[in-house]
Amino acid sequence: MAPPANRRPTYSRRAQYGTFIRYVVAFAGLFAGVLLLIVSLGDGASFAGMRGAASDVVAPAGQVSAKSRAETRGLLATIGGFFTYGSRVARMEQELDAARVALAEAEALRRENAQLKDLVKLSQVDPRALVVTRLIGSTGSSTRRFATLGAGAQQGVRPGMPVRSPAGLVGRVLETAQSSARVLLITDSESIVPVRRARDGVAATAIGKGDGTIQLKLIAQGINPLKPGDAIVTSGSGGLFWPDTAFAVVASLTPDGAIARPLSDPGSTNYVEVQPVWIETAIPGAIPAEPAPSGGK
């Protein structure tokens, strides 16, 4: 149906101007959106203050929802546990016997390792968790992959710090507010992490694909040595991320590398820890072997 020729609802001038001004404001809003976009595309951190304040305000609600996420998962696991109790006890007893043997061997290896380290005067610094907290939200409806952390500048969280869960690397802190922080997840298409194969150290860079998987690009060109199932850990080169943090498992191969699945599923982790930045604290004054990974503003 064609719109009526006369769009004036009434003879009142006031009402007619009101309708007109509403449309003027609507199109002004459209152009305001364009302007805001130009500013924020020019400098991604330009509205960080506003975003941070907003996420600080809603952080308590996020904490509650994060807690309920953990409890729901726990409840389902408990119910499931009743049905598989007997077989699991039997299996665990077997595993316990095997583990006792492995533990004894590991103890011997540890001693030997310490002796060898003393020999070459190598000091290993383990990353100490700066803050242990929860992920209280994520941008599930955007193609960008950010999560919100339940700790911020007050707890000592600074931009650039790596975030990991017990299962592996989760991402790094992008911007901080007073009591919350925004984390760039490793699956975001702007996240670049230097990694290597755990077994032999084949170096690669890991770039998120935005859909929950990670693209591994080998640094050395040539025959692709990766195999599905290979474990990938961070290499620590370039600083920022601590070396040997569990990262991903190769799922399928591509001509220049592989597609990998991240080991840490941020949705199923209860707590994450924020670590200090690798170079600054571990080897004071060390010069990075290669420029720091770009990405993120």
Partner 1 sequence: MPLTLPAALRELGKRRINRVPSPVLAWSVPWLLVMIGSLSPLLPLIASAPVVPPMGFLFLIAWLQLRPGLFPVWAGLPLGLFDDLFSGQPFGSAVLIWSIAVIVVDFVETRFPWRGFAQDWLLAAAAFAGCLLGGLVLANMAGGSSGVLTIVPQLIVSIFAYPLAARLVGALDRFRLIPIREL
Distance CA 253, CA 227 (A): 7
**168-176 sheet: strands from edge to edge:** 131-133, 272-274, 162-165, 168-176, 181-185, 146-149, 135-138
DSSP 167-217: TEEEEEEEEE-SS-EEEEETTSTT-EEEEEETTT--EEEEEE-SSS-EEEE
Q: How far is the CB of 167 from partner 1 (least distance, A)?
A: 12
Q: Of residues 82-121, which lie at the interface with partner 1 (CB under 8 A)?
A: none
Residue 14 as a binder of partner 1 (CB under 8 A): the answer is no
Interface with partner 1: number of residues (CB under 8 A): 69
Task: Pick one of 10, 46, 94, 252: the residue that binds partner 1 (CB under 8 A).
Answer: 46
Task: Pick one of 5, 11, 13, 29: the residue that binds partner 1 (CB under 8 A).
Answer: 29
Pairing of strands 146-149, 181-185: antiparallel
Q: Are 283 and 239 in contact (CB under 8 A)?
A: no
Closest to partner 1 by CB, 169 or 202: 169
Residue 27 as a binder of partner 1 (CB under 8 A): the answer is yes
Residue 30 as a binder of partner 1 (CB under 8 A): the answer is yes
Q: How far is the CB of 179 from partner 1 (least distance, A)?
A: 15
Structure tokens at 144: 């960008």
Measured in degrees and rounded to the nearest 5, phi and psi for residue 156 equal 95, 10
Residue 69 as a binder of partner 1 (CB under 8 A): the answer is yes
Structure tokens at 162: 């790596």
Residue 141 as a binder of partner 1 (CB under 8 A): the answer is yes
Residues that bind partner 1 (CB under 8 A): 1-4, 7, 22-23, 25-30, 32-41, 44, 46-47, 50-51, 54-55, 58, 61-62, 65-66, 68-69, 72, 135-148, 185, 187-190, 209-212, 262, 265-267, 269, 295-297
